[in-house]
Chains A and B, each alone.
Chain A
């Protein structure tokens, strides 16, 4: 059954007339592709679009998210440590040096 389908397919392909390609067809196709790319870039592909495209890539979005998260956490920890140190210092100072003496 399958071999018959294959044969039939071959016969159909043979009897279909394929017109001859015009001269320098391939070159023409490539030049049209390049032209389309150039005009596309000129119209809409500004840096804004490039950024948007980059941001929509899952890997880039994930990396950006991780960087922002880690930067926030590191900065928060540093600020928190400084605040805790200041509080502890104020606590000690309040115990040993009453306000009337400072």
Chain B
């Protein structure tokens, strides 16, 4: 009885070790084979099954968009710096700080609009069904985050109003 228990426990341990070993090895090999950190667009090719010609067009659009995006990011960073200086040491929000805040919001909105235009352009370079899926996915990933926060905040405020 005792011997059998040891045999079973030993077998379970060996099986667990073999399972874990093969799981981690296979996972590692898969990640290494499938990921290509040098290419920003590897996900698009995999996910939306793009042909070489479609990928070339998407790459062209992507490379055209990156400098515009970088320039917009630099403007946002500069505006954030300006706002931080206006707010430094202040106990209330000065008209200058308020102006900087508004400009920062405008810059972010411009940047988002530019980003969404890029997504639309990329989606048009894909087959129609894949393009629609790409656009929906990118909107969910980039704008959905804000929606979630706003939704949770509005839920909280409604919830609070119900309390006496």
Residue ranges of A at the interface with B (Cβ–Cβ < 8 Å): 44, 46, 48-49, 51-53, 55-56, 61, 64-65, 68-77, 79-81, 83-85, 87-89, 91-93, 95-98, 100-102
Name 14 interchain pairs, CB-CB below 8 A, sorted by A: A46-B4, A52-B4, A55-B11, A74-B26, A79-B23, A80-B27, A85-B43, A89-B141, A96-B69, A97-B138, A98-B73, A100-B73, A101-B108, A102-B145
Chain B residue at smallest Cβ distance from A43: B1
Q: How far is the CA of A6 from the CA of B145 in the complex (A)?
A: 99
Cβ–Cβ contact B23 & A44, under 8 A: no
A84 adjacent to B1 (CB under 8 Å): no
B44 sits at the interface (CB 8 A): yes
Contact with A along B32-76 (1 / 0, CB 8 A): 011111001111101100000000000000100110010001001
* B3 near A52: Cβ-Cβ < 8 Å: yes
Query: What B residues does A83 contact at CB under 8 A?
Result: 27, 30-31
What residues on B are CB-neighbors of A65 within 8 Å?
15, 18
Give the Cβ gap from B27 to chain A, nearest Cβ, in Å: 4
A96 to B88 CA separation, bound complex (whole angstroms):
31
**B contact face: mostly helix, strand, loop, or mixed:** helix
A79 touches B47 (CB 8 A): no
Give the residue name and chain of the B residue nearest to A98 (CB).
B73
Please give the distance in Å from B5's CB to the nearest CB on chain A. Answer: 6
- Inter-subunit contact A52/B18 (CB<8 Å): no
Q: Does B142 lie within 8 Å of A80, measured CB to CB?
A: no
B121 to chain A, nearest CB (A): 11
B111 contacts A by Cβ under 8 Å:
yes
A91 touches B43 (CB 8 A): yes
Please name all residues of chain B whose beta carbon is closer than 8 Å to the beta carbon of A95 when the two chains form the complex: 40, 62, 66
Q: Which of B8, B40, B42, B73 contacts A51 (CB 8 A)?
A: B8
Give chain A nearest CB distance to B156 CB in angstroms: 21
Evaluate contact between A97 and B41: CB separation under 8 angstroms. no
B82 at the interface (CB under 8 A from A): no
- Taking CB atoms, residues of chain A closer than 8 Å to B28 are 76, 80
